[in-house]
Structure 1
Amino acid sequence: MEACMAIEGVEIIKAAAYLGAGLAMGLGAIGSGVGEGMAAAKACEGIARNPAEAGLITRTMLVGQAVTESTGIYALVVALLLLFVV
């Protein structure tokens, strides 16, 4: 006789939580990385065009990158909740 392994509801929920955590973190990290890279590229262009305003451009870029990074941190929180709470 062959032993049949049935996948029960709890295992399906755990598998969905793991997949959701991976997707949340992956997409959140991609979005943050692209956003911060674009901000740094535009800041470099701005400094190259107007070196006298380098301080202001750098400060503005850092504030924008901090806001962009918060998206990645929210994705991490969602992923951790899916891994350890569900």
Structure 2
Amino acid sequence: MKDEVLEHGIEVALGEILAERGITLTDLSLRVGITLANLSILKNGHAKAIRFSTLSRICEELDCQPGELLRYRPSPS
């Protein structure tokens, strides 16, 4: 299932990456020290912003690059 794309066109692939690695959102929350609620907001594409420090911790834990987590998808005209 693809994560939601909001009006800003940023797609968050956190759910896909977690599934590929066999990691639950709860596990990631404990590993990176971010609340489950905030990670859920990010995963579901409802976050309005993300701090670079948060993005860095997620990328470090998931061994990925920011571009693997965030993609730009322009909205259809």
Structure 2 length-normalised TM: 0.29
Larger radius of gyration: 1
Structure 1 length-normalised TM: 0.27
Answer 1 or 2: which has greater strand percent: 2
